[in-house]
Structure 1
């Protein structure tokens, strides 16, 4: 799709999207008296208001556009970069609902007139809102159904002054959005397609596309040799081979890595603690954290980030078979700690434990951020619109929280009090993979983070639980039901800002 910048509102577009703030009293009188009269009537009859998201649709005979849509932008003081994403997401959705393929809008120009958001941030938000809203997973649909969901051809953004910073922002936003959609494609794919070999090939392609990326893959034999037994134990019931994928991105001559570690469970049956109906069906998505790591490394290379990054993805499948891991089994992790398997469905923390400990021991990163669809408790606590976050480094937590608010890919800090720190201690082993305190299910998102913290020694570390934010059951303004790519934007903004 082409995102164009034009000094004039392109009246040849199939749809004209005109934004209007609540404070605007002119109601497009100068643009079209006919439109102004229609708006006045609609406002008086209360069939339209200027509240954010309200839509008034019409057709003006003197314009070549098939539709003119006025979109309420709400209060000027409450307008933000996220509102730009939401407004343009609505514009994309409305255009596609009318089965049209292009629109022109003045929304970005109006946002700039408020002098609240710099042009580069506006361009970034605009590209993200447009491209994320335009995403559809149509690979397995018949051709005629694919046609109904095909991407838009073009969007024209009106802009009056120098467009250098705006265009720079659009370029950055496009990379971030396309990398997010790359992740959504991976997560939306079925588990009979996405296995460990498939993800290895994806990583190979990412590495092949950049001379700054090297790929290292530890297969089953190497994992056994290195002693990543927590990872190996989870995969015992699967016919697919476990792997540890390590993408090394060298964008700077300076020493020191930021490591991104993502859970890559390609399907999670729960193991012998089998997941019930209405929970097991979406478990192809349990590799979303790993997909986010792959997508973020891809974005970093395309943006040319002046940083050194590690993208680490432990990949396996949690299945049931005669050889599968049992509740009550004890494994020795890479760092030597013993873990009793209290529940085979608390498997993500096991593979992350080995990945975190191995990454720190071998590469000594300054910062480690792990991402995982780790706990149902996080979905209950935060729903879809924010990922949960725990850690002890306040500076890193605050930087990620700020990046989340700026990107619209929000993360929210959960308490990590000292009182929680022994909740994962085992009775006959160093650790248990579920809490033995209370009834065993309290503070589930937090205790999952506590467990992971036992496998990090010196690095600044944060755990991000994307269980709710990675896969939505509802439509949003610019994200639809299904995979969202949650994690790519917040990490990209964090890395760009640091």
Structure 2
């Protein structure tokens, strides 16, 4: 059952709070017009399913691996290893001229004579990353070809069939599905909304195993979550304010059986003293919202809380950012997007673990109501924080949510995810997330979960020498202590976890991509959503 709309203030354990202000018909109409600018969220992805036959007239793909092996004529040499029964239909003269090597992502359109296959795809050495990259190259190539055909006024095929090798393992299958569904992802605010040409991909196998069926279901949920997180983070901030995020989260919950959404407005936040969120959001005409998503299956095994930073736009506040790159701050809620998307997938997969998702949403803008360096803010739970830099706002809203998670939910483990510090981009680049944790077990679980779904994490230290720098002079703690930026930010957050098993995932680097690679396209990447889903899945079946 989904929770209330964003304009409704939920009753707390202490009693009902003040009613929210009424929304006028004029503002409702304006909001609808703004919302109508955007592509549908969640957007659509190609449907991938297992099939025992390609179907008549469906374009087909032959797979080739880059493996030295003996050819069919008996001569040895560096030749592709062919996968699938349709390899025999490849035209010999065409192959002799092309000399394919089967490198991952190598793609060639095939001649149609004799009704043969339409595409030749290299899958490299057959590692999961090779399969992921190959699938992404395939869908991008097929869609680009289809769009050229469509623009020329010719009929476009909407279905594609791929015969898979029987020995394909589930890790490779998962990666292949991720690439097929995400490699052609696109987000464009335009009056000309062309849909993705390829709507269905049939993975052909004579006898699909139960393991394949299970892996496919998880891969579909994971890729859908990644795409949803991308949709949310890519949405422009003239539409995407805290209220929009809250309404989208409610919409997601309404469409997902068993997932519940509760939206806390500024009146509830004021009554319950969420000082960090209120300070950060004080400079904006769009007040903050706390999104709380709940998945509570019967017989649940433990309780996990996931917290995602939801800064819908970040100017830096009074400590204003440079103009260069500020337009990218529409993705500063990528951590919150990952949490919303992960909760939907966890509920869709019916994982037997209780999971709560918290997304503190605010805009960090500049006005007469903006908070200042030198202010002292009282966080939820009473801890006071001395403000030293208003551009370090993410940790303030996360601190409120972490303290609330500890007091309200008392979970078995607590994980926060955020585009938090530029220091992590310097340390780890743009494709690896920083992982901090107060327990080795939790850090190892998350690292393994990420590796199995194609997301790379590197554990960073919680340096004891830097811990004292978090202590404040005017308040209990200092928001932006001196020292290594990513580490001191994590140490600040640790102050609000009450010693519970906790991990902090800093995705400032991999949350956005400047160019296309593997199943990632330029823009928001949806990074961390798959890791969170896989982490919960492993907890549910004991694969820690």
| TM-score above 0.5, yes or no | yes
Inter-CA distance 174–161: structure 2 relative to 1 (3 Å threshold): same
Deviations 1:233-272 (A, max 9, x none): 1111011111211112101334742000011111101001
1:59 counterpart = 2:111: yes
Alpha-carbon deviations, 1:123-153, whole Å to 9, x = none? Answer: 4333322111232113x2232xx33x52412
User: Gaps (5+ residues) in structure 2?
Assistant: 1-45, 72-79, 147-155, 540-544
**Mapped partners of 1:198, 1:296: distance in 2:** 19
Q: Which residue of 1 aligns with 2:329?
A: 283
Q: Tell me how far apart the structure 2 counterparts of residues 165 and 220 of structure 1 sit (CA, whole Å).
A: 47
Q: Output one character per residue of 1:19-42: Cα deviation in whole Å (capped at 9) or x when no partner.
A: 223224435598347634443444
Please name the residue that 2:450 is paired with. Answer: 404
Displacement of 1:228 after TM fit? Answer: 1.4
Kept in 1: contact 2:107–2:137 (CA 8 A):
no
- Taking a change above 3 Å as real, the CA distance of residues 15 and 95 of structure 1, as seen in their structure-2 partners, is farther
C-alpha contact (below 8 Å) 1:388/1:414 kept by paired residues: yes
Aligned counterparts of 1:404 and 1:133: Cα–Cα separation in 2 = 19
* 1:91 is the counterpart of 2:133: no
Name 1:213's counterpart in structure 2.
259
Aligned CA-pair RMSD: 2.3
Determine helix, strand or coil for the equivalent of 2:355: strand
User: What is the aligned partner in structure 2 of residue 467 from structure 1?
Assistant: 508
Q: CA deviation at 1:64?
A: 5.1
- Residue 261 of structure 1 aligns to a residue whose secondary structure is strand
Q: Which residue of 2 is the match for residue 135 of structure 1?
A: 185
CA–CA distance in structure 1, aligned partners of residues 406 and 312 of structure 2: 24
Matched, 1:165 2:211: yes
CA-to-aligned-CA distance 1:152-192 (integer Å, 9 cap, x gap) = 12212232334433233222211221122112111111111
Structure-2 separation of matches of 1:60 and 1:353: 60
Counterpart of 2:162 (choices 99, 105, 111) is 105
Tell me what 2:64 maps to. 19
Q: Where does residue 440 of structure 1 map in the other structure?
A: none
The one of 470, 476, 490 equivalent to 1:449 is 490
Looking at structure 2, the residues matched to 432 and 459 of structure 1 have their Cα atoms a distance apart, in angstroms, of 21
Aligned residue in 1 for 2:95: 39
Counterpart-to-counterpart distance in 1, 2:93 and 2:466: 63
Specify every segment of 5 or more residues in structure 1 that has no aligned partner in the other structure, as ranges: 438-442
For residues 13-67 of structure 1, the C-alpha deviation after alignment (integer angstroms, 9 at most, x for no partner) is 3352422232244355983476344434444xxxx433333344442522255x3
Residue aligned with 1:422, SS: helix
SS at match of 1:339: strand
Specify the SS of the correspondent of 1:276: coil
1:391 aligned onto 2:432: no
- Secondary structure of the corresponding residue to residue 325 of structure 1: coil
- Aligned residues of 1:12 and 1:64 also touching (Cα < 8 A): no
2:124 corresponds to:
74
Give the secondary-structure state (helix, strand or coil) at the position aligned to 2:414.
strand
Q: Secondary structure at the match of 1:324?
A: coil
Match among 518, 527, 532 for residue 477 of structure 1: 518
Q: 1:360 Cα deviation (Å)?
A: 0.5
1:25/1:92 CA distance change after superposition, 3 Å = farther
Query: Within 5 A, what are the aligned runs for 1:226-305?
Result: 226-254=272-300, 256-305=302-351
Scaled by the length of structure 1, what TM-score is found? 0.89
Change (3 A) 1:464 1:13: same
Partners of 1:480 and 1:287 in 2: CA distance: 18
Does the CA contact (< 8 Å) of 2:435 and 2:459 recur in 1?
A: yes
- 2:458 and 2:62 map into 1 onto residues whose CA distance is 34
The CA distance in 2 between the partners of 1:334 and 1:473, in whole Å, is 37
Inter-CA distance 236–56: structure 2 relative to 1 (3 Å threshold): same
In structure 2, the CA distance between the partners of 1:366 and 1:228, relative to structure 1 (3 Å rule), is same
**2:513–2:521 contact (8 Å) kept in structure 1:** yes
> Kindly tell me: are residues 319 and 34 of structure 1, through their superposed partners in 2, closer, same or farther at Cα, counting changes over 3 Å?
closer
Q: Residue 313 of structure 2: SS of its match in structure 1?
A: strand
Structure 2 distance, partners of 1:92, 1:485, is 19
Report the CA distance between 1:331 and its aligned residue. 1.2
Partners of 2:183 and 2:505 in 1: CA distance: 24
Compared with structure 1, are the counterparts of its residues 91 and 459 closer, same or farther at alpha carbon in structure 2 (3 Å cutoff)? Answer: same
Please tell me whether the aligned partners of residues 54 and 60 of structure 2 are also in contact (alpha carbons under 8 angstroms): no
Q: Distance in 2 between matches of 1:4 and 1:435?
A: 51
Question: Shift of residue 417 of structure 1?
Answer: 2.7
Taking structure 1 as reference, are residues 196 and 34 closer, same or farther at Cα in structure 2, changes over 3 Å only? closer
Secondary structure of the residue that 1:457 maps to in structure 2?
Answer: coil
